[in-house]
């Protein structure tokens, strides 16, 4: 991976303050719990953050944040459910925000492929192949 999902999550989380309005304080509390703990406590905070994202379907930055923390959760607890959730979140983000911030689109496309591989699926779909073909490599 060419970036650190934890650092990307921190950056994009700050951008989501305006998107979450009155729920910002709760999001900060849950993010702090997620970032500073492990096990059941972190998992509960993670689940609350994902649930909050469902209440804000147009919160682009917060949705990117949820993808980045899902990668962290999958690394902490590598179970199929986290990889499936991450893949689903990436698919939704890319379908909705493909024309938005190119940095996040590139990172989320990369995470999408990682979630896909984490599920043990080797066959690449057209979107991933197109992305990889369009990405400059080495001396391109």
What is the mean pLDDT for each group of 10 consecutive residues in the chain (140 residues)? 89 94 96 91 95 94 96 91 95 88 91 90 57 53
Domain count, the chain: 1
* CATH number reported for the structural domain that contains residue 21 in this entry: 1.25.40
Domain presence at residue 1: no
CA-based end-to-end distance of the chain? 20
Please, how many CA atoms are within 13 Å of residue 8, restricted to the half-sphere of its CB? 23
Q: Which pLDDT score is estimated for 39?
A: 86
Domain presence at residue 140: no
Please tell me the distance from the alpha carbon of residue 68 to that of residue 57, in angstroms, as a whole number: 17
Domain presence at residue 52: yes
Neighbours of 56 (CB within 10 A): 17
73-88: pLDDT as tens digits: 998 889 999 999 999 9
Domain presence at residue 139: no
115 burial type by CB count under 10 A (0-12 exposed, 13-18 middle, 19+ buried): buried
Structural domain range at position 114: 9-134
Q: Quick one: CA dihedral 114, 118, 122, 127, positive or negative?
A: negative
Q: Which pLDDT score is estimated for 140?
A: 47
Q: Which pLDDT score is estimated for 118?
A: 86
């Amino acid at each position: 991976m060419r970036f650190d999902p934890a650092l990307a999550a921190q950056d994009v989380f700050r951008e989501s303050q305006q998107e979450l309005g009155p729920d910002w304080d709760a999001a900060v509390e849950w993010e702090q719990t997620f970032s500073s703990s492990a096990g059941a406590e972190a998992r509960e905070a993670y689940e609350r953050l994902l649930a909050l994202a469902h209440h804000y379907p147009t919160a682009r930055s917060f949705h990117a944040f949820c993808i980045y923390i899902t990668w962290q959760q999958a690394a902490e607890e590598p179970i199929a459910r986290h990889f499936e959730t991450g893949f689903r979140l990436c698919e939704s983000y890319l379908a909705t925000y493909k024309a938005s911030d190119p940095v996040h689109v590139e990172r989320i496309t990369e995470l999408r492929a990682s979630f896909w591989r984490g599920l043990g699926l080797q066959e690449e779909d057209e979107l991933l192949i197109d992305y990889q073909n369009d990405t400059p490599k080495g001396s391109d």
